[in-house]
């Protein structure tokens, strides 16, 4: 186990270094408009950091997506629980949920911007609309996937409906909610970025759009790399929390 871990880490570092080196090499040997290079990106990042630009724009995008993620998760979980608990509502609404889920919600962006303008609200709503449906579906599935025997065990013990919900259905959803959250993070960021790309005055999408106007590959890639790192850290944080909370799922070594 220990040895495997070291091998995996080493491989990861080798891949990272190799890709960066290759990129740098191409950027230097064949200078062109569109490849940029890791060193150019690093330099641009440093410049941007000195002017606090990147911090500001990352903050804007992160604020929009986290607000969308939070609201989407809360509403999505609540709806999912409602659908899961009531057999009739769940069955009645199922086709609508599936239809809603297959709708490419990013395409709603122009409509949303038309409704609420180009400020925070449009990005927040777009993030929210992307997050809420998978959160709802995951929670709903978490309830439906509950093994009937677990419910029967409690029913024999004369548990009330509320007790069955609190002690069986809800805990059974937790792993599903966490996997929904992990998907939700990237969805939320996609929502915010798409909104910004279409029209905005700030945010990572705005930076990219501005740089694109002047054919500045480095200026487009740098904020993307920053955003990628930030969302990677967020995902790790959720993963770590879920591992801690779901210790019971791990097998004895």
Residue 162 lies near other proteins (rule: CB under 8 A): no
- By CB under 8 A, the count of residues binding other proteins is 22
16, two tokens? 């990272």
Between CA 7 and CA 167 the distance in angstroms is: 41
244 binds other proteins (CB under 8 A): no
Nearest to 150 by CA among 130, 126, 138, 166: 166
Q: Is residue 107 within 8 Å of residue 198, measured between CB atoms?
A: no
Query: Quick check: 204 binds other proteins (CB under 8 A)?
Result: no
Least CB distance from residue 251 to other proteins, whole Å? 6
Among 21, 152, 241, 243, binds other proteins (CB under 8 A): 152
**Residue of 68, 195, 197, 198 whose CA lies nearest to 134:** 68
Length of the chain: 253
**Which of 5, 51, 201, 251 contacts other proteins by CB under 8 A?**
251
Q: Can residue 159 be called a binding residue for other proteins (CB under 8 A)?
A: yes
Smallest separation, CB 3 to other proteins (Å): 24
Residue 106 C-beta: closest distance to other proteins, Å: 36
Among 6, 50, 156, 233, binds other proteins (CB under 8 A): 156
What angle (nearest 5°) sits at the alpha carbon of residue 176, between those of residues 9 and 240? Answer: 35
Q: Does 81 participate in binding other proteins (rule CB under 8 A)? A: no
Q: If binding is defined by CB under 8 A, does position 153 make contact with other proteins?
A: yes
Span between the terminal Cα atoms of the chain, in Å? 10
Does the protein bind other proteins through residue 150 (CB under 8 A)? yes
Smallest gap from residue 117 Cβ to other proteins (A) = 45
Does 167 contact other proteins by CB under 8 A?
yes
Q: Is 34 a residue that touches other proteins (CB under 8 A)?
A: no
Please say which residue, 107 or 156, places its beta carbon nearer to other proteins: 156
35, 71, 171, 224: which one binds other proteins (CB under 8 A): 171
User: Residue 146 and residue 47: Cα distance in Å, rounded?
Assistant: 53
Q: Give φ, ψ of 36 to 5 degrees.
A: 55, -155
CA distance 19 to 146: 44
Q: Name the CA dihedral angle for 110, 116, 121, 122, rounded to a multiple of 10 degrees.
A: 0
Q: Under the rule (CB under 8 A), what is the footprint of other proteins?
A: 147, 149-150, 152-159, 163, 167-168, 171, 174, 246-249, 251-252
């Amino acid at each position: 186990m220990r040895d495997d871990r070291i091998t995996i880490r080493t491989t990861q570092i080798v891949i990272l270094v190799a890709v960066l080196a290759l990129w740098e090499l191409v950027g230097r040997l064949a200078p062109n408009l569109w490849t940029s290079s890791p060193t150019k990106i690093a330099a641009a990042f440093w410049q941007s950091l000195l002017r606090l630009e990147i911090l500001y724009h990352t903050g804007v995008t992160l604020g929009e997506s986290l607000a969308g993620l939070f609201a989407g998760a809360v509403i999505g979980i609540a709806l999912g629980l409602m659908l899961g608990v009531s057999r009739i509502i769940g069955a009645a609404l199922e086709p609508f949920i599936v239809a809603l889920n297959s709708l490419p919600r990013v395409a709603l962006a122009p409509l949303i911007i038309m409704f609420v303008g180009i400020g925070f609200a449009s990005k927040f709503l777009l993030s929210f609309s992307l997050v809420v449906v998978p959160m709802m579906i995951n929670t709903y599935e978490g309830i439906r996937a509950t093994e009937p025997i677990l419910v029967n065990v409690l029913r024999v013990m004369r548990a009330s409906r509320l007790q069955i919900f609190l002690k069986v259905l809800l805990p059974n959803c937790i792993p599903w909610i966490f996997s929904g959250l992990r998907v939700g993070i990237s969805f939320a960021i996609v929502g915010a970025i798409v909104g910004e790309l279409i029209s905005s005055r700030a945010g990572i999408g705005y930076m990219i759009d501005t740089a694109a106007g002047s054919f500045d590959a480095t200026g487009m890639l740098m904020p993307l790399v920053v955003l990628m790192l930030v969302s990677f850290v967020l995902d790790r944080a959720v993963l770590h929390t879920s591992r801690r909370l779901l210790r019971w799922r791990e097998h004895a070594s």
